[in-house]
């Protein structure tokens, strides 16, 4: 089979090679999937840049989500037959013609769901669900701020918060994206390139902030919480501009320093989320989250937006597009 290998860290145009390799073999609890398309996640960009600690050593096959057809089922796998159309979480290995999924994170989907929407459900929308409903426990009339609101996870969070009836502040980095998030129902769209979100908020205080940026953004967010407020910290995008070790230390420093007594006395907190760790330590939670997300998509409460479809030969362009910060929603790559 063919797989797209990450050969070297750095710019997308020199990073990948499509190579022949062995078709993977499954264990009794696994499912082999003939991949129709795989999705990109921002973590893939971080891995390509050599900034992602959990990424496998080079040369490696990245990829967290695929859509395709069941090719083979392990002896202990129930409820799947060869030919089922599925979306799956893959812990790397997704940029390939065949990929393996553990049965708990493979889910059947309709024949009509687009490849981009299907892959978004497995990763970004499952992440958004866990953040919104498990960690933030959103309620009607919560006033919330979603950073990178036009992105993969961001659009999922917006749709989930709309469903809950929250008042939504959302940031993004261009006027085109402002129009896009307005269209999704964000009540207070903020272009952070022309207006600092803290300045926009003024004296307004928030119940929940979803922060994938880190550094200074998190520190400012903490100042913007009301009693009962919490920041869900789930990414470190600001690190990808920190080229030197000093710049990296600066980003970490900019997070600020906190003591639990501060959380207690001011009744607010910071919650960190890493879905990889959740999958490793509590895989049953991931299974439940994915099931709920697929149910919400079947009910058309969630409708992932697909912002770009590429062919595998255009993988470098797809990566560069996600890195450019111009993309909206999910980026997907087809075989």
Residue closest to ligand NAP (Cβ): 151
Q: Does 283 interact with ligand NAP (rule: CB under 6 A)? A: no
Q: Does 240 interact with ligand NAP (rule: CB under 6 A)? A: yes
Q: In this structure, are residues 138 and 121 in contact, taking their beta carbons and an 8 Å threshold?
A: no
- Burial tier of 325 (Cβ tally within 10 Å: 0-12, 13-18, 19+): middle
Phi, psi for 197 (deg, rounded to 5): -65, -30
Q: In 3D, which of 201, 237, 202 has the Cα closest to residue 217?
A: 237
Residues 85-124 that bind ligand NAP (CB under 6 A): 124
Between 70 and 158, whose beta carbon lies closer to ligand NAP?
158
Q: In 3D, which of 141, 131, 320 has the Cα closest to residue 230?
A: 131
Shortest Å distance, C-beta 116 to ligand NAP: 12
Between 21 and 134, whose beta carbon lies closer to ligand NAP?
134
How many residues contact ligand NAP, by CB under 6 A?
A: 28
Q: Which of 172, 206, 270, 312 binds ligand NAP (CB under 6 A)?
A: 172
Between 70 and 190, whose beta carbon lies closer to ligand NAP?
190
The helix/strand count (H/E) of the chain reads as 12, 15
Q: Does 173 interact with ligand NAP (rule: CB under 6 A)? A: yes
Q: Which of 213, 231, 315, 333 binds ligand NAP (CB under 6 A)?
A: 213
SS3 assignment, position 258: coil
Between 138 and 181, whose beta carbon lies closer to ligand NAP?
181
Q: Which of 87, 90, 127, 287 binds ligand NAP (CB under 6 A)?
A: 127
Q: Which of 3, 70, 88, 148 binds ligand NAP (CB under 6 A)?
A: 148
Q: Does 216 interact with ligand NAP (rule: CB under 6 A)? A: no
Shortest Å distance, C-beta 119 to ligand NAP: 11
Q: Which two three-digit tokens encode residue 279?
A: 């999958």
Query: Between the CA atoms of 159, 217, 221 and 320, what dihedral angle is there, to the nearest 10 degrees?
Result: 0
Shortest Å distance, C-beta 276 to ligand NAP: 6
Distance CA 321, CA 324 (A): 5
Residue 103 to residues 21, 29, 95, 323, Cα–Cα distance (Å)? 24, 6, 19, 31
Distance CA 122, CA 33 (A): 14
Q: In this structure, are residues 128 and 152 in contact, taking their beta carbons and an 8 Å threshold?
A: no
Q: Does 152 interact with ligand NAP (rule: CB under 6 A)? A: yes
- Residues engaged in binding ligand NAP (CB under 6 A): 41-43, 124, 127, 148, 150-154, 172-173, 177, 212-213, 234-235, 237-238, 240-241, 273-275, 322, 325, 327
């Amino acid at each position: 089979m063919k797989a797209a290998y990450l050969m070297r860290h750095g710019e997308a145009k020199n990073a990948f090679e499509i190579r022949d390799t062995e078709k993977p073999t499954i264990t009794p609890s696994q499912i082999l999937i003939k991949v129709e398309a795989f999705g990109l996640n921002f973590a893939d960009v971080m891995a390509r840049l050599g900034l992602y600690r959990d990424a496998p050593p080079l040369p490696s096959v990245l990829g967290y989500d695929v859509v395709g057809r069941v090719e083979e089922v392990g002896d202990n796998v129930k409820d799947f037959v060869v030919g089922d159309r599925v979306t799956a979480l893959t812990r790397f290995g997704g940029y390939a013609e065949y990929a393996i999924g553990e049965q708990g994170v493979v889910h059947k989907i309709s024949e009509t769901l687009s490849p981009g929407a299907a892959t978004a459900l497995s990763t970004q929308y499952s992440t958004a669900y866990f953040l919104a409903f498990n960690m933030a426990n959103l309620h009607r009339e919560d006033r919330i701020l979603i950073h990178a609101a036009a992105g993969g996870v961001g659009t999922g969070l917006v749709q989930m918060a709309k469903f809950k009836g929250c008042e939504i502040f959302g940031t993004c980095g261009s006027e085109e994206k402002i129009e896009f998030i307005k269209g999704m129902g964000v009540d207070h769209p903020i272009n952070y390139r022309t207006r600092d979100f803290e300045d926009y908020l003024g004296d307004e205080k928030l119940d929940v902030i979803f922060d994938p940026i880190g550094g200074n953004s998190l520190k400012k967010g903490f100042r913007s919480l009301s009693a009962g407020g919490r920041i869900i910290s789930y990414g470190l995008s600001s690190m990808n501009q920190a080229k030197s070790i000093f710049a990296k230390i600066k980003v970490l420093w900019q997070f600020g320093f906190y003591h639990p007594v501060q959380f207690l006395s001011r009744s607010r907190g910071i919650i960190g989320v890493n879905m990889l760790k959740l999958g490793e330590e509590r895989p049953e939670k991931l299974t439940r989250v994915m099931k709920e997300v697929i149910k919400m998509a079947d009910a058309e409460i969630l409708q992932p937006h697909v912002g770009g479809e590429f062919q595998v030969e255009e993988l470098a362009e797809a990566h560069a597009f996600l890195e450019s910060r111009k993309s909206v929603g999910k980026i997907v790559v087809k075989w």
